[in-house]
Amino acid sequence: MPEIPQELTTPPLHPIWSTAKKTAATKAKDLNEEKKYAELEKKLNKGLGPDLDSWPKLYPKSDKLKATKTKIDTTIHSYTEFVKAAALNTAVKKLLSDALVKIQKEMDERSKEAEVWILSDKAVAESTTMVKKNLVPLKIIAQDVAKLVNAKAPKANLEAQKLWLDIVISDVKVLEKVPADYDNAKLANLIREQADFTLVIDQLAKLLTECGANVKTDKDVPAAEKKFKEGMEKIVDAATIRGAKPIAEL
pLDDT, residue 6, reads 85
Question: In DSSP terms, which residues pair with 73 in a beta bridge?
Answer: none
Strand 164-169 and strand 138-144: the pairing is: antiparallel
Q: Distance between CA atoms of 146 and 150, rounded to whole angstroms?
A: 6
Question: In DSSP terms, which residues pair with 138 in a beta bridge?
Answer: 169
Give the CA-trace dihedral at 233, 239, 240, 245, to 10 degrees.
160
Q: Distance between CA atoms of 1 and 57, rounded to whole angstroms?
A: 11
Contact present, 96 and 20 (Cβ < 8 Å)? yes
Contact present, 41 and 79 (Cβ < 8 Å)? no
pLDDT, residue 130, reads 65
Q: For residue 212, which of 223, 202, 196 has the smallest C-alpha distance?
A: 223
Rg of the chain, C-alpha, whole Å: 24
Q: Where are the domains of the chain?
A: 6-119, 135-248
pLDDT, residue 115, reads 86
- The tens-digit pLDDT sequence of the chain (250 residues) is 568 888 899 889 999 999 999 999 999 999 999 999 999 999 999 999 999 999 999 998 999 999 999 999 999 999 999 999 999 999 999 999 999 999 999 999 999 888 878 876 666 566 666 666 666 666 777 788 889 999 999 988 888 887 888 777 777 777 777 766 666 677 777 877 888 889 999 999 999 999 999 888 888 888 998 899 899 989 988 988 888 777 766 6
Q: What is the DSSP string of 62-78?
A: HHHHHHHHHHHHHHHHH
| Residue 71 dihedral angles phi and psi, to the nearest 5° | -65, -45
pTM for this predicted structure: 0.55
Phi-psi region of 56 (alpha: psi -120 to 50; beta: other; left: phi over 0): alpha
Residues in the chain: 250
Q: Distance between CA atoms of 66 and 189, rounded to whole angstroms?
A: 36
**What value, to the nearest 5°, has the Cα angle with vertex 182 and ends 177 and 186?**
110
- Type of residue numbered 187: L
| Residue 51 dihedral angles phi and psi, to the nearest 5° | -65, -35
pLDDT, residue 239, reads 87
